[in-house]
């Protein structure tokens, strides 16, 4: 059965890879590939020139969005999904680590099993050690905070059906986390092992700063678990404080000659003050993001569109 396939590719520092990648996609998928949506996420290299050439070469089958600045991968993907028209939409990176010939496997697997989304998984990942560690931590947090199935790997290479794309598109907040939006909307989730290749050129664009920003989105935008944890920690600290107070009173009665412990007093004050500041910061993060959302902070801004 033939399917109309759209592909969304966020582009950042992809001048040397995006051209060959799009050519390979059209060679592999043929007429099934109705649309490749390239989203330039404020790339500082010559990606803009290459994407324009691809638009001219392939005409209406390639759409090009140039964002006004760098918004981040998830925001760029949301921009691409808003223009997707295929029966299935595949999201992939621009670095050739996701082989074009694996796209059709994801689409056929999603169609034959009636999944809303199919994530790719790998027997061996060709990422750096610290990137793999960051992915594992992100996976653990998503399992705890978003109730992600434990055996599901949240990869960036995935296939979504048209219904799910439209449901995700209803989210208009400035801090999208794509996997959080997916897990909120469907339980029809599949996983398929595919090949993962070495990066063709350059190095990963994921920095520690970007990973921390992603973790904050999981924490603050898609779960209230941190607030509940802060409540539990508050009760525990209060209980510890009460027990310490009782211990001081008892010790004073039993051994009145014992000198007052200034060092322990300072430690206790610092401990409780630190916990309070962390909780206030957490609440402030929630309120700040809520304020920016209500204030109409854009999810992305398209400076130019070619389609």
**CB atoms closer than 10 angstroms to residue 197:** 13
The predicted pLDDT at position 290 comes to 83
The predicted pLDDT at position 277 comes to 76
The predicted pLDDT at position 232 comes to 77
User: Same domain, yes or no, for 150 and 89?
Assistant: yes
User: Same domain, yes or no, for 215 and 231?
Assistant: no
**Is residue 230 pLDDT above 60, yes or no?**
yes
- CATH classification at residue 158: 3.90.550.10
User: Same domain, yes or no, for 190 and 254?
Assistant: no
- Mean pLDDT for the stretch of residues 290-297: 83
> Which of 190, 254, 181 is closest to 218 using CA atoms?
181
In the structure encoding, which two tokens stand for residue 178, read together? 């794509």
Place of tokens 């595949």: 90
**Region at 305 (left for phi over 0; alpha for psi -120 to 50; beta for the rest):** beta
Task: Give the strands of the sheet with 62-67, arranged side by side.
Answer: 189-193, 117-121, 158-161, 88-91, 5-11, 33-40, 62-67, 302-306
User: Same domain, yes or no, for 118 and 210?
Assistant: yes
In the structure encoding, which two tokens stand for residue 272, read together? 């409780």
Which domain, by its residues, includes 287?
A: 225-294
Contact by Cβ (8 Å): 203, 123: no
Question: What does the alpha-carbon distance between residue 138 and residue 256 come to, in Å, rounded to a whole number?
Answer: 53
- Mean pLDDT for the stretch of residues 239-254: 73
User: Same domain, yes or no, for 59 and 192?
Assistant: yes
Question: What does the alpha-carbon distance between residue 136 and residue 142 come to, in Å, rounded to a whole number?
Answer: 10
User: Same domain, yes or no, for 289 and 215?
Assistant: no
The predicted pLDDT at position 140 comes to 75
How far is residue 44 from each of residues 73, 76, 204, measured CA to CA in Å? Answer: 15, 15, 15
**Is residue 180 pLDDT above 80, yes or no?**
yes
> Which of 41, 60, 13, 68 is closest to 306 using CA atoms?
60
Q: How many domains does the chain have?
A: 2
> Which of 119, 223, 220 is closest to 174 using CA atoms?
220
Model confidence, pTM: 0.81
User: Same domain, yes or no, for 200 and 233?
Assistant: no
**CB atoms closer than 10 angstroms to residue 301:** 11
């Amino acid at each position: 059965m033939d399917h109309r396939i759209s592909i969304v590719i966020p582009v950042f520092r992809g001048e040397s890879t995006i051209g060959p990648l799009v050519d390979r996609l059209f060679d592999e998928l043929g007429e099934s590939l109705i649309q490749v949506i390239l989203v330039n996420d404020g790339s500082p290299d010559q990606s803009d020139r290459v994407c324009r050439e691809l638009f001219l070469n392939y005409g209406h089958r390639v759409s090009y969005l140039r964002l006004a600045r760098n918004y981040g991968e998830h925001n760029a993907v949301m921009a691409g999904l808003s223009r997707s028209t295929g029966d299935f939409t595949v999201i992939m990176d621009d670095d050739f680590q996701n082989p074009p010939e694996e796209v059709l496997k994801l689409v056929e697997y999603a169609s034959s099993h009636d999944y809303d989304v199919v994530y790719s998984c790998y027997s061996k990942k060709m990422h750096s050690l610290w990137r793999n560690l960051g992915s594992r931590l992100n996976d653990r947090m998503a399992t705890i905070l978003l109730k992600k199935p434990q055996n599901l790997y949240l990869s960036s290479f995935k296939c979504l059906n048209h219904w799910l794309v439209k449901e995700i598109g209803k989210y208009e907040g400035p801090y999208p986390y794509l996997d959080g939006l997916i897990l909120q909307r469907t339980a029809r989730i599949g996983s398929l092992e595919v090949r993962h290749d070495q990066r063709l050129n350059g190095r990963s664009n994921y920095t520690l700063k970007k990973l921390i920003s992603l973790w904050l989105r999981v924490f603050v935008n898609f779960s209230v678990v941190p607030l509940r944890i802060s409540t539990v920690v508050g009760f525990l600290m209060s209980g510890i404080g009460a027990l310490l107070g009782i211990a001081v009173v008892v010790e004073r009665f039993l051994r009145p000659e014992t000198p007052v412990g200034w060092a322990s007093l300072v430690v206790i004050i610092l401990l409780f003050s630190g916990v309070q500041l962390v909780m206030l910061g957490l609440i402030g993060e929630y309120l700040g993001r809520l304020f920016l959302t209500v204030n109409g902070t854009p999810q992305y801004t398209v400076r130019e569109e070619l389609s």
